[in-house]
Structure 1
Amino acid sequence: MVSSSGSSEKSATSKDVLLDFLAGGTVAPLERVKLLLQTQDVNHKIAQGKKYKGFGDCFVRCIREEGTISLWRGNWANVIRYFPTQALNFAFKERYQKIFANYNPKSDPYKFFFGNLLAGGMAGATGLLFVYPLDFARTRLGVDIGKSVNERQFRGMNDCMAKIYKADGIRGLYRGFSISVAGIFVYRAFYFGGYDAGKKFMFGDNPNPSILYRFLFAQFITSSSEFLAYPLDTIRRRLMMQSGRGDIIYRGTVDCARKIAVTEGLTAFFKGNLSNMYRSVGSSLVLVLYDEFKRWLLLAGQSSYAK
């Protein structure tokens, strides 16, 4: 019985990671557009030339100036990052749920809700510690402008990490980590915690609510989570851009936030957010399909045990 349960959990994790991996590859062009819009004011090649006017202009110019394949630039680091990130997130989430959210949703609804928020945030923050250099490399490669390799700053993921490490040491690869932890905590807290706790309130004891209702609910949770965490994401991307550079624009997280607000306005914190709205559809599907696989594996395990 224990063996069957262990096997089911491993199958659920591997299937979920595969789903998220596929979703990540599909929306990679949207992610690159988002990164370019977020960082163009501190990207020398863009700031000194013609800036992107918005999502559509950036998308079209990437294809016209750098080729269609450029929309996936930096995605290899993202591919490598996805597997351990999602595996760690879901593994830590369930572990933290046992610690912080071990309450009955009916008798202790508030403790259950906030316990799930805390568990989700802790899971995301813990996982980030292991994969941050890959996230850093994905960002720097994604905003590296140039049609040919000779026109760009980095030749690939290894070259990027090696050059930054040589210039700034391990600190350079972890620049922006503290605000990233805050951002991922906010995002994962509402993404995982809000979904797990919210579905109890929305669907009650219904073991099999409509997939459409669950998808719409997951879409609301995902969009809300990304909106709340997006300003923090913009700050961390800006800080990442300083590694390996001689000129320092921001002295830290607070200074970065202040300068963005003063020189660019509050809307600058949400540059590229439109692509996140499109990407959230894939994230919502991951949440719903993850639940479906868990339910299917549970039923399969019960059927096997009955035999």
Structure 2
Amino acid sequence: MSSHGKPKKHGKDFIKDFLVGGVSAAVSKTAVAPIERIKILLQVQDISQQIAADKKYKGIVDCFVRVCREQGPITLWRGNLVNVIRYFPTQALNFAFKDTFRKYLCPFDPKKEMGKFFLGSLASGGAAGATSLPFVYPLDFSRTRLAADVGKAKHEREFTGLGNCLATIFKKDGLLGLYRGFSVSVVGIIVYRACYFGGYDFGKQYLFKDFRNANALFLFLFAEVNTTLSGLASYPLDTVRRRLMMQSGRAKRAYTGTFDCMSKIYAEKGLRAFYKGALSNVFRGTGGALVLVLYEKIQKFFLQKH
């Protein structure tokens, strides 16, 4: 009997983590969707076929004002439904896999083996992100292309929705088109998730005596700093992958691959070119911080209930 009890418990824990992580993510991503779209527009406008050279956005404020004026305020949430659909399994799988990997990669006592615990936390967070990515990458791809679409009227739009985007790109470029930029995305997600989950797990052990009962405001502020730094660490790779995504379905391509893309972006304005829209990450990081805090609080609720 005991031999069957343990796997069953692990299965229940996995499902619980999947649901708790997904719900937390769906709420937070909708809240910061306008910031996310502005960030993407600033990242990809130099390769967009819809944005002329003299019509490029000058920064976050200019982009926000012009999108509201030219496309309508509601379009700030363009692509958000796909993001929620994508983010639910992405974040939920990340949390679920993270805890699974942590059992094997981070079995260390945080008080006695601080260094090993820190490295184990980074490894489990990075492994979780890399494991989840292949399942949801086409949705991530579609989210980028829909958010980058600046057409106002239906006939001006590049894609009418998620299904149309997937079908159009698949028809032109096959499955490869939906996975363009995947390799650099794997590296980027490992960097981001390692910092995001690893930094959070490590920090909460040393900054909070009892993190489940910690003050929500302090927990949020810590999560905000952690999320922002994680985003900045992986931002150059995020810019590269989104530029590569924009090439799918196009007859002419600006980049031959990841390294060619990196060298051409660097040729624009040096390292600054990789960080276009990065300031929005500070505001966008609020969503990631909310996910972490909501996850802890919802888990606490379930633990008290059961």
Name the TM-score, length of structure 1 as normaliser.
Answer: 0.92
Q: Aligned equivalents of 1:250 and 1:4: distance in 2? A: 49
Partner of residue 269, structure 2: 264
Letter of the structure 1 residue corresponding to residue 182 of structure 2: F
CA RMSD of aligned residues (A): 1.9
**Helix, strand or coil: the match of 1:218?**
helix
Q: How does 1:136-155 map to 2 (within 5 A)?
A: 136-155=141-160
The answer to whether the Cα contact below 8 Å between 1:113 and 1:198 also exists between their aligned partners in 2 is: no
Q: Aligned equivalents of 1:117 and 1:187: distance in 2? A: 10
Quote how far apart the aligned CAs of 1:5 are. Answer: 8.3
Cα pair distance change 1:200/1:247, threshold 3 Å = same
The answer to whether the Cα contact below 8 Å between 1:55 and 1:275 also exists between their aligned partners in 2 is: yes
Cα pair distance change 1:62/1:104, threshold 3 Å = same
Cα pair distance change 1:4/1:122, threshold 3 Å = closer
Say if 2:21 is the partner of 1:16.
yes
Unaligned residue ranges in structure 1 (runs of 5+):
302-307
The answer to whether the Cα contact below 8 Å between 2:20 and 2:299 also exists between their aligned partners in 1 is: no
**Aligned residue among 220, 223, 239 for 1:215:** 220
**Helix, strand or coil: the match of 1:42?**
coil
Quote how far apart the aligned CAs of 1:4 are. Answer: 8.2
Partner of residue 116, structure 1: 121
Cα pair distance change 1:141/1:165, threshold 3 Å = same
**Helix, strand or coil: the match of 2:214?**
coil
**Helix, strand or coil: the match of 2:151?**
coil
Letter of the structure 2 residue corresponding to residue 84 of structure 1: P
**Aligned residue among 58, 65, 69 for 1:64:** 69
Partner of residue 60, structure 2: 55
- The total of aligned residue pairs comes to 301
The answer to whether the Cα contact below 8 Å between 1:33 and 1:55 also exists between their aligned partners in 2 is: yes
Partner of residue 176, structure 1: 181
Name the TM-score, length of structure 2 as normaliser.
Answer: 0.92
**Aligned residue among 77, 82, 85 for 1:77:** 82
Cα pair distance change 1:11/1:88, threshold 3 Å = closer
**Helix, strand or coil: the match of 1:53?**
coil
Partner of residue 104, structure 2: 99
Q: Which segment is superposed worse, 258-267 or 167-176?
A: 258-267
| Percentage of identical aligned residues | 53
The answer to whether the Cα contact below 8 Å between 1:101 and 1:116 also exists between their aligned partners in 2 is: yes
The answer to whether the Cα contact below 8 Å between 2:192 and 2:233 also exists between their aligned partners in 1 is: yes
Quote how far apart the aligned CAs of 1:289 are. Answer: 2.1
Say if 2:242 is the partner of 1:242.
no
Q: Aligned equivalents of 2:32 and 2:220: distance in 1? A: 18
Offset from partner CA, 1:36-75 (integer Å, 9 cap, x none):
1000100122134411010011111111111122111122
**Helix, strand or coil: the match of 1:57?**
helix
Offset from partner CA, 1:154-183 (integer Å, 9 cap, x none):
121111111111111111100000111111
Quote how far apart the aligned CAs of 1:19 are. Answer: 2.1
Partner of residue 305, structure 1: none
Say if 2:229 is the partner of 1:228.
no
Partner of residue 137, structure 2: 132
Partner of residue 165, structure 2: 160
**Helix, strand or coil: the match of 2:51?**
helix
Unaligned residue ranges in structure 2 (runs of 5+):
none
Letter of the structure 2 residue corresponding to residue 100 of structure 1: L
**Aligned residue among 16, 41, 47 for 1:42:** 47
The answer to whether the Cα contact below 8 Å between 1:121 and 1:188 also exists between their aligned partners in 2 is: yes
Say if 2:188 is the partner of 1:188.
no
Letter of the structure 2 residue corresponding to residue 165 of structure 1: F
Offset from partner CA, 1:79-106 (integer Å, 9 cap, x none):
2112211221111101110111011112
Q: Aligned equivalents of 1:256 and 1:78: distance in 2? A: 25
Q: Which segment is superposed worse, 117-126 or 286-295?
A: 286-295
Q: Which segment is superposed worse, 76-85 or 8-17?
A: 8-17
Quote how far apart the aligned CAs of 1:205 are. Answer: 5.9
